[in-house]
Amino acid sequence: MITSLLKSLLKKIAVAALASGTLFTASAALKVGDSAPDFSGMKLEGALPDSLKGKVVILDFWASWCGPCAESFPVMDELQKKYQDQGLVILAVSVDEKPAKMETFLKKNLVSFTVVRDAGHQLVAAAEPQTMPTSYIIDREGKVRFLHNGFHGAATRKEYVDQIESLLKNTP
């Protein structure tokens, strides 16, 4: 009696483990071709731009503890200033757990683009970036067109420029 109960219990555990494994591997990470995630209803600290409709958006996930993120900030600031009149919006989403660390970082790295903090890690969990930083370049129709894992200095900057210019050409 007891052994049959144990057997059925073990079977259930095995099935649950398999199911959770399947769920875990079936990741819903944001990729090229997907629609940009809907930020409304997510707990983002900081003011979002009025409207992202019809804009080319760089959605960048970063953290104060990440070295390449600090390298990427001056480049993104330059791009924002250069292309904002043509419709580029850079939205940098901090995944810092402590707001003070983000503030200290932003005092050292002054930027002109929008920075918000993903306080509940809802947005980052929806996008599931594989590295820090990760940026998604979203076209005017709201589709993710390019994905950058990490920041590799001049090489990434060149890719950004080429990709942004190609997307900005499509005027709404």
Partner 1 sequence: MKSKLLLAAGLTALLLTSGCANVKPWERGTLTDYTMQSGRDPIATAQFEHIWYSREEASGGRGVGGGGCGCN
φ/ψ of 23, rounded to 5, equals: -65, -40
Residue count, binding to partner 1 (CB under 8 A): 35
Q: Considering only 4-12, 74-82, 103-111, 137-145, which stretch makes contact with partner 1 by CB under 8 A?
A: 4-12
CA-based angle 164:165:167, to the nearest 5?
65
Binder of partner 1 out of 3, 25, 40, 51 (CB under 8 A): 3
Toward partner 1, which CB reaches closer, 32 or 125?
A: 125
Q: Clarify whether 107 is annotated catalytic.
A: no
> Does 10 contact partner 1 by CB under 8 A?
yes
**Counting every residue, how long is the chain?**
172
Only one residue has tokens 């043509």, namely 86
Contact flags string 145-164 toward partner 1, x per CB under 8 A: ----xxxx------------
Non-local CB neighbours of 50 within 8 Å, separated by 6+ positions: none
Q: Is 101 helix (H, G, I), strand (E, B) or coil?
A: helix
Is 64 designated active site? no
Question: In sequence order, what are the residues at sequence separation of 6 or more whose Cβ sits closer than 8 angstroms to the Cβ of residue 10?
Answer: none
Tokens of 59: 């959605």
**Which residues inside 80-139 make contact with partner 1, applying CB under 8 A?**
95-98, 101, 121, 124-125, 128-134
Beta strands per DSSP E along 49-96:
56-62, 88-94
* Residues numbered 22-81 forming contacts with partner 1, rule: CB under 8 A: 24, 61, 63-69
List interacting residues with partner 1 (CB under 8 A): 3, 6-7, 10, 13-14, 17, 24, 61, 63-69, 95-98, 101, 121, 124-125, 128-134, 149-152
